[in-house]
């Protein structure tokens, strides 16, 4: 069972809003599919692209997992209360189990976004994928990018992203790059 601090509850609410692409205050299968397709198209991946297909498949797999553990009333949609309850019940058990779910997802994102296949994302890449996949405003992404790029080389890697996303859920320090990942926690 995860300790649901106020800080984690606010982060989960922010993440929930990032998933809710049709803004109907519920998460549904179409939110996960729309966001993955939209991001793939942003980077020029048509329906036949293996990278796009993999991202959609993994996104829908995340939805199915979330639906199984969070859709308590079995209505094929997840409310914010259900989302938070699922996390409190153990969806985020440890950083290690978190990595088992998120590393394949981030790798699929990289397959779509990293067009030159150098294993690095530029600021522009980050702005584009975070904006299309999670509706994060450009300035928020730019601010977060500078915190994630700890060596100031102008690039971030898969390991940088995984560390940052892990920190979003597990590190309550305001100095953590994860603290800034999706913008202010103003709710």
Q: For the chain, what is the mean pLDDT?
A: 88
Contact criterion met (CB below 8 Å) for 166 and 95: yes
Average pLDDT over residues 28-43: 96
Q: Architecture of domain 6-174 in CATH?
A: Orthogonal Bundle (1.10)
Judge contact between 34 and 98, C-beta under 8 A. no
Whether residue 43 contacts residue 113, with contact meaning beta carbons closer than 8 Å, is answered with yes
| CA-based torsion, 163, 134, 169, 147: positive or negative | positive
b vs e for 57-81, b when ≥16 Cβ sit within 10 Å of the residue's Cβ?
A: ebbeebbeebbebbbeeeeebbbbe
- Do residues 89 and 69 make contact, with C-beta atoms less than 8 angstroms apart? yes
Instruction: Classify residue 107 by its DSSP letter.
Output: H
Contact 38, 132 (CB under 8 A): yes
Average pLDDT over every residue of 148-165:
91
**Of residues 96 and 159, more confidently modeled:** 159
User: What are the sequence ranges of the domains in the chain?
Assistant: 6-174
16-20, 27-31, 171-175: segment of lowest average pLDDT: 171-175
């Amino acid at each position: 069972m995860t300790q649901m601090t106020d800080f984690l509850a606010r982060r989960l609410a922010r993440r929930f809003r990032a998933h809710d692409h049709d803004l109907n205050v519920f998460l549904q299968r179409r939110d996960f599919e729309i966001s993955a397709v939209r991001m793939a198209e942003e980077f020029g991946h048509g329906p036949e692209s293996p990278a796009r297909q993999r991202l959609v498949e993994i996104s829908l797999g995340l939805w199915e997992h979330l639906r199984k553990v969070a859709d308590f009333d079995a209505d094929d949609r997840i409310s914010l209360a259900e989302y938070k309850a699922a996390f409190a019940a153990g969806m985020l058990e440890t950083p290690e189990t978190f990595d088992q779910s998120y590393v394949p997802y981030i790798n699929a994102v990289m397959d779509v976004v990293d067009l030159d296949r150098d294993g690095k994302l530029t600021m522009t890449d980050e702005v584009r994928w975070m904006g299309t996949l999670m509706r994060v405003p450009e300035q928020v992404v730019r601010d977060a990018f500078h915190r994630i790029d700890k060596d100031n080389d102008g690039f971030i890697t898969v390991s940088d992203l995984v560390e940052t996303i892990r920190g979003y859920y597990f590190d309550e320090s305001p100095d953590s790059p994860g603290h800034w990942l999706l913008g202010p926690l103003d709710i």
